Amino acid sequence: MTDPRSLDPLEARLRDRLQARQPELVRQLEELVAIPSGQGHVPGLDLMRERLVTRLEALGATTELRPGAPRPDWLLGGVQADPPPTAVCSRPLEGGGPRILIAGHIDTVHDPEDTFIALTHEADGISRGPGAADMKGGLLVALAALEALDAEGVECHWTYLINSDEETGTFCSERHLQDAAAEHDLGLVIEPALPDGSLVVERMGSGQFMIEVEGRSAHVGREFERGISAVKTLAEVMGRVLDLADPGNGRIVNIGPLQGGGATNAVPDHAACWGNLRFADPEAQAALAAAIEAIETDYATDASGRPLPADHLPRVTIHRTFNRPAKPQTEDVTAIAMAARSVAEALGGEMPFGRTGGVCDANVLQSAGLPCVDTLGIRGGNLHRRDEYVEIESLWERAALFAILMKRISCGETDLVP
């Protein structure tokens, strides 16, 4: 067994190989960041996918392009005309071995027409660019690690799953993540590390909802009494939903944006809002779901609890989905995290563990039964902002960590897989 506090000769070669590639990796990151792949920009997403798949196939992977499923039509932004596909690139290992799923997304939140379109380098080792941390740096970290392992002749059983809709909720690719989870032993997701380099071991869950109210329009001056304001009812419902927030007990509720009415002199007959829920565990998720259902039921029944007529106004409909369950720190997650920490220490660094209210594809994977850690990508910060940055030296450092972790798992030097 490898001493977790040191590198064996093969691991040292992997480290040195990736460190020597740093200038090349920086150029490659510049190329990826320059591809606009935010906000559903299809040409950029297609080019990103093509670039990654080409390099993975050069390593012997076979690629299956799986069609995306449509999003629920009530979600903010509506239905996508052509749901993006998911690329599943697999290179099985003859004779078996731990089946490792690598998962990453090529979409970002950045406007493809913005002026924030390139990776720029600053004197303090910081580089800024759209999606550089989240997660084009991570995509390159994993890819460079696989190339280094291949060059050193290290055999690994891996699948690299690339989806295009993580930033909008993973609705199009959720099924493919679940299918992949069932076919692998553990997952390594390449979201960026926390700003201090911490590895996230626990995440809250997330849900989306829409509140829709139908009322009756009327002229404000002539027939105000005949109108039924959808905006007034929406405000009442919103207040009740927002009151469900209890951050101290793992329940977060946010609402925005809002929609309602078209003129100040007409009673609005329609209003809607969209919101997000966060929950620390299944119990908090269940409590939120039950409370929201009870609010909707209150507007569909009379004081005695009897159903109101179908044409009764105001009519309140609450759409919701909890497609990203909470991701707890299980024993299996801890074991993977400890294996990653041992590599970080052998490389002369540290790897604290952290928790976050953010969600990612690892929530979906772990809820489908696959233990995984999900911040093995590049170090960076200011995600989703116009000053998003990466610590550029961490490009080769995290690639070395990823490669050595893959090597130790694949060579049976950890206790992660029986």
Can you list the alpha helix ranges (DSSP code H) found in 184-263? 230-242
Q: Which amino acid is at 106?
A: I
| pLDDT at residue 5, as a whole number | 62
pLDDT tens digit sequence for 80-93:
678 999 999 999 88
Q: 9-203+327-410 adopts what CATH topology?
A: Aminopeptidase (3.40.630)
Residues of the chain with CATH 3.40.630.10: 9-203+327-410
| pLDDT at residue 2, as a whole number | 45
Q: Rounded to whole angstroms, how far apart are CA atoms 213 and 272?
A: 6
Residues of the chain with CATH 3.30.70.360: 205-324
Strand (E) or helix (H) holding 20 = helix 9-20
3-class DSSP state of 31 = helix
Query: Please, which residues have CB within 8 angstroms of residue 252's CB and are 6 or more apart in sequence?
Result: 204, 245, 277, 278, 279, 357
Q: Rounded to whole angstroms, how far apart are CA atoms 286 and 47?
A: 41
Which portions of the chain are predicted below pLDDT 70? 1-5, 79-80, 417-418
Residue 60 — left, alpha, or beta (φ > 0 → left; ψ -120 to 50 → alpha)? left
CB atoms within 10 A of CB 24: 11
CATH of domain 205-324: 3.30.70.360
pLDDT tens digit sequence for 382-396:
999 999 999 999 999
- 133 DSSP 8-state letter: I
- Distance from the Cα of residue 80 to its chain's centroid: 18
Q: Rounded to whole angstroms, how far apart are CA atoms 106 and 95?
A: 32
3-class DSSP state of 161 = strand
Strand (E) or helix (H) holding 63 = strand 62-66
Q: Rounded to whole angstroms, how far apart are CA atoms 399 and 266?
A: 60
| pLDDT at residue 415, as a whole number | 81
pTM of the model: 0.94
